[in-house]
Amino acid sequence: MKIQQFWRFIRRSLTSLSCAVAISACSIAPQGPVEMPLPQNEREARLQQMQQFSLDASIGVKSPKDSVTGSLEWQQTGDDYQAAMRNVLGLTVFELTNTATGATVVVDGKTHRGDSAGELLNYLSGWSLPIEEMPLWIRGLPSLSSQNLQRDSLGRVQSFTLIDSQQRQWQVTYTEFFADSLSLPRKITLQSADSRLKLVIREWIL
């Protein structure tokens, strides 16, 4: 599918509501009892050990081609992951699956396969997003190659610089955490030279 066709599909779906809905307006599930975060080393060890989890989030993407707002579902099992983005009307923008054998992206009912989820998404949408690094940064964990790491007084990662699989540099910033012992991220912003991604996580399922 050509990039122009992809964006025509998104614009048709979003025309009536995209200007009226902002990511900051999305509801967030009530929190449970407030807990102090675990000590830094123990907490990050627990986060590293999370091999199966899913989350539901609102998402906003602003790229040189366009801006899109919607919801994101992410499910991870070991190194394999699945993601589905839907617009504000509930229509599927894309579905993505990544396993050891390769990546699959479904857009507008058509299935595309390749070696890299990031490359496929970039080709189909024009978005160069750090999808392949997401299993770490979505949990609030930097990679070994991350730079400029900043932490808050509780030892939680506040920001770092990420180089993704497409060799693009991103500034990853965590502005809010859930009030549990793992302090899982609640609000995340990623900024590159020409693109911006905002996530507001409504629910983690561990």
Task: Answer whether residue 24 is part of any domain.
Answer: no
The answer to the question of residue 26 being in a domain is no
Model pLDDT, residue 31: 55
Tell whether 103 is covered by a domain. yes
Which of 44 and 120 is assigned the larger pLDDT? Answer: 44
**Total-model pTM:** 0.81
Under the banding of pLDDT at 50, 70 and 90, the label for residue 32 is low
Q: Is residue 84 part of a domain?
A: yes
Structural domain boundaries, residue 108:
3-15+34-205
Q: Is residue 29 part of a domain?
A: no
pLDDT digits over 53-112, tens only?
Answer: 999 999 999 988 778 899 999 999 999 999 999 988 888 888 999 999 999 999 888 999
Q: Is residue 28 part of a domain?
A: no
Strand order through the sheet with 169-177 = 110-114, 102-107, 92-99, 80-87, 67-77, 52-62, 196-205, 185-191, 169-177, 157-163, 147-151
In a domain, 88, yes or no: yes
Q: What is the pLDDT of residues 122-179, one digit of tens each?
A: 777 767 789 889 999 999 999 888 999 999 999 999 999 999 888 889 999 999 999 9
Q: pLDDT grade, residue 21 (50/70/90)?
A: very low
Domain total in the chain: 1
Q: Domain containing 44 — which CATH number?
A: 2.50.20.10
In a domain, 78, yes or no: yes
CA atoms of 200 and 143, how far apart (whole Å): 21
164: which residues sit within 8 A by CB, 6+ positions away? 118, 128, 129, 130, 132, 133, 170
